[in-house]
Chains A and B, each alone.
Chain A
């Protein structure tokens, strides 16, 4: 038995010599020039823009907003929308493991060695990237309650109702926390055969022992669990599944490579959007703000 990988090496077509060029000079020249261009570009950049150096570190003075290095701001952005354990550790770990696992799942050798090798690769990549960017932006806007502000401003601005404010009945739709705070959970208990079920949704006794460090397992705070864990995780799992089903319905997906293309492109979209929002659109208290309104205060 020869393993698939070994067979793949062995069955490669013999090299056609006339299709080959010499590494020296053809490749070495390109490498040299690109290294030179980058050296010059970085030298010029370094001559023009200084690396930042703020005041000496002071544990007693907290800047507001405090931000991680820019390449971790996608995770810091996630932190605003879900339980910290998911945002800071579990989601990135799963993402990296899935990323590393791509070639073990998509093993077909078709379409390698050329850009966008399958028939619908281009539109899958564009759709995945664009849709993920849009949906992520909308979700961030929604969780930042900007739709509330905008609706109020528009209705007041049109003169329809100068005292208009977001209706209390729609409090649950203000943002993700709305599912926790905007629903009258206390009145949602019900009685079956004399037993009152869920009299207190915020302390459902699960009684799982040894969980004193995770009190939500001992007495489940369901509204908080719903808004901080169930909904974010369902969104992160559900949207990619919907993406795949949608593109399948359009007839764009035929192989695993197509699915990988779609999801990877969507991942890049989410990665970029969250990084940019986290870097440029988060002001004091991590509120959504346009970049020119962001001031760092020291408190």
Chain B
């Protein structure tokens, strides 16, 4: 189907043959041709200076062309790449035509046009500023500026070529191809302020754009501003050059930096605007620029003064001045960096300061390292920022409370050495280098938090284990107690009843033989045996009671009443435990009371004991107070230490207050959850 095929072809054609592509390729072609012609011209003869100048121009120009092509390849509909390519093409064209004019016979006619051609070097840069970053003019009104940038240099070149007066050396005797006209020179001069106005307008367009740009556009613009900073940097170099060398030769370096810097910055902005943290580059550049300016000022003054004081030996003076400046400026740089950061880069400065502050407060014990997440959220104005901690030995991330946390694919890992100990997820775009810097600054806090988490998990596990063990041991005791009651005790009583039954059936004859010498007194024997059995049962009952007081089945109050009813000194009971409490709680409370009362009886020589149990605010409080000798201690292996362990296993607190001669208070506070 040829029709459809041709439509498809047309579509492909429209898609691939875009104006920026065509322009970029054209620039590349022009650049290659110009390089070729320049090369040919060089072969025909040139001095070393001319060769170096051409080669430098060609290399820098080709660099810009290649970058322009790359940008166009990535953004085929964006004119920025094409303009970038033309920046290089113009540079090559300029230096090639210069070389060509110089070396090729008969080409000197071109000199007429090369005189005003310097203006073209600014055109691509100005257009770049105008079209950056989306390849479109800020608004239709700016078409005038663009058109001016393209027509004014043409007019200027032609007018300069027609101006009267000889060419500069070495073309003094070359005739002017378009003739000379008196009116051309003033007109050409009139073009200069016009052109300057167009350049300023292009620069202004960048600031207009900044106001309307989105985050990415703003990042890209910043890159261009960084590149634009090479312009004042060139001025600084000029200054330095005059100061140190006495002429402006170093400016060439600045110009080269500018021509390398602007395409580089443009390409980074268009291809990888998040390659570096542009804010950081910007603020660093400005800081270093300011420091350099300050250094040069001091140096200028110092050189001047020392020249007055120590005439003749300017090398020593310059060295001394430089040393003094370096010493003076090194603290200045940090302060300056902070100031510049505050103005240009508040997020980085604020966030790093907040992390540092938290670290200091955590060290001083007035803040918890777990506050890292809220601190970062506040400092970065990012309410959805998340910090995940990787538990040692685990793979999943948790938050500061130990709950599972998804950090997401775009998270920035927090590393110590090669170990990933956590991750930070920025929900608002954060440049990768800044993210890295924040993650590194947070690493110590993250490490502390995850270790604390691990410790807490281990302690929780230990606590849970202890509580479980205690419950199991109580359950075991309960089971043993029942087994004793229902098993052994019951069996012994049954045995006793059988013996009694047997005893009742002893025949009278056997009873009559009771008094006969040598005969066994069966009746008496059975009495004794049954009495022994009854004693055994009573003893078993005691054992069972020791395992677990059965009276606890009736509740804590009755059990404690039972306990104190056997105490030989007066006991004041005040029991206010209403709700039904878990078995391990009542059992522990009972043991606390029982052990404390037993201690009082054994050691305190007390006259009275007060036993108080109160259940309030989710706590069960057991307090035993006596008026005895005091001086009790919780020694290892003692009954009190055992109590302390039991109470701690349930998450309670246990304390003994026993000043010598001041009586003893034993108190346990147990959480009871109601």
Q: Do A and B bind each other?
A: no
**Which A residues are closer than 8 A to B by beta carbons?**
none
